[in-house]
Structure 1
Amino acid sequence: MKPPVPTQASATSRNVSEIVPDVTALKALAHPVRLRMLGMLRIDGPATATQLAARLGLNSGATSYHLRQLAQYGFIEDAPATSRRDRWWKASHEITSVRPAESEGEAFDMDVAFAQAILSQQVGQMQKAAEEYAELPLEWRKASTASDIVIPLTAEKAEALTTRLNEFLMEAMREAPALGEPLPADTVPFTVMLHAFPYPGRLPHGEEESEP
């Protein structure tokens, strides 16, 4: 996600922890299994390699390897163990913030690759949400939306808009219970996926940019 911009917190808000990975860490994270594992640890709380393997349909050896990779780059860390036999892991942060690369090179290539990896995972989640929509209670169907709005904007105004939207979402997150912790009976993890981009095919690229 685009890095949130700090705003003045209310009296009931809390700090939301984030990680801003460098190119090497981002490369390690941009694996579909690791993205899913990190999401599970953030949303559902601590787990063992065996538990994650069962949920992902993998063997524990594979999940242990991916967990070590996530730990190496600071995405996860050891959690208090309930027994000496199992190693428990927990997410180190609630969100991952990725700064857009300013020029071409390895950082730019990884920026593009990570965007593709995230989009693939998000499309899968949205499809599952659509499949479960009919089973939702009315109050949660009212809270859900699948909207797309096209607004003519300059690049500067588009950036200002996405910044304001991210600020609003971060404010809501700071005032909500922390991810991975026990939640009140009427509260569930609620996903907001924010995709903002120039309408495909309407913006010149590279050498096709307008001439003076």
Structure 2
Amino acid sequence: MSFEKVDPLEDPRAMRALAHPIRLRIRDLLDDEGPLTATEVSDRIGESPANCSFHLRTLAKYGFIEEAEGGKGRNRPWQIRHGWMRVEPENLAGDARRAALAMGQALRGALVRRIEAWARRSRDLPEPWRGVGFEMQIDTDLSAEELKQIGEQISEVLRPLTSKRELAPDSRRITIAVQGFPHVSDDD
């Protein structure tokens, strides 16, 4: 969840669409590599072009990706739509809440897989990328208001990184993931 002023995603169909494992792989691929056609996506993830085309159209239907410039028909490239997405499962009920929880679980799973891949291969990265990634965790005591303020401050720090800006020649795709949550048990 971000603290950006965007309308929360509440459509269970959209949330289920994004939670699909192939669509998550496609979304991550488009985010990493930029505009790709269904055939190019197919080559990279090992699914048929027809299946990839179906999943691309589904992601576009719900606004997660869009057509890129150039190409038509089968040669039509697709690109990720950047921006903030806000989901508030605590404010949803029924099917929408179940879909939000499933989508969140799928997105967290994809993030963990990305973190694990980095941890396994970080030694193989070229300089200067070796040793610059980080993981951090603290456990502390905060009030609900303090936790909210920290989330807003982190959002302010990250916001400029999501806008169009001139990139350094040695730029790479980077994931910055931050969570802040109260400890709960399964009994709560």
Q: TM-score scaled to structure 2, two decimals?
A: 0.85
Contact 2:3 2:151 in 1 (8 A): no
Q: Which amino acid aligns with 2:150?
A: L
1:67 counterpart = 2:56: yes
| 1:136-165 deviation line (CA, Å, top 9, x unaligned) | 345323421121111211222212212211
2:23 to 11, 27, 34: 34
Residue aligned with 1:69, SS: helix
The answer for unaligned runs of 5 or more in structure 1 is: 7-17, 178-182, 206-212
Q: CA RMSD in A?
A: 2.5
For residues 138-149 of structure 1, what are the structure 2 equivalents within 5 Å? 138-149=127-138
Aligned mates of 2:145, 2:97 — CA distance in 1: 21
2:87 to 99, 105, 108: 99
State the aligned residue count.
Answer: 186
Structure 1 counterpart of 2:108: 119
Residues 85 and 100 (structure 1), Cα distance of their counterparts in 2 relative to 1, 3 Å cut? closer
Structure 2 counterpart of 1:197: 181
Structure 2 counterpart of 1:157: 146
Aligned mates of 1:53, 1:175 — CA distance in 2: 28
Residues 124 and 85 (structure 1), Cα distance of their counterparts in 2 relative to 1, 3 Å cut? closer
The CA deviation at 1:204 is: 6.1
Residue aligned with 2:66, SS: strand
Higher relative contact order (CA 8 A, sep 6+): 1
Q: Which amino acid aligns with 2:10?
A: D
Aligned mates of 1:59, 1:85 — CA distance in 2: 13
Residue aligned with 2:180, SS: coil
Residue aligned with 1:47, SS: coil
| 1:11-64 deviation line (CA, Å, top 9, x unaligned) | xxxxxxx88543221221111111221222233211111110111111111111
Larger Rg: 1
| 1:62-87 deviation line (CA, Å, top 9, x unaligned) | 11110111121122222223476522
The answer for unaligned runs of 5 or more in structure 2 is: none
Q: Which moved more, 1:33-42 or 1:100-109?
A: 100-109
Aligned mates of 1:175, 1:204 — CA distance in 2: 45
Contact 1:41 1:90 in 2 (8 A): yes
Residue aligned with 1:139, SS: coil
The CA deviation at 1:134 is: 0.8
Aligned mates of 2:7, 2:135 — CA distance in 1: 28
Structure 2 counterpart of 1:188: 172
The CA deviation at 1:175 is: 7.0
User: Identity, % of aligned pairs?
Assistant: 29
The CA deviation at 1:96 is: 4.4
The CA deviation at 1:88 is: 1.7
Q: TM-score scaled to structure 1, two decimals?
A: 0.76
Aligned mates of 1:111, 1:85 — CA distance in 2: 32
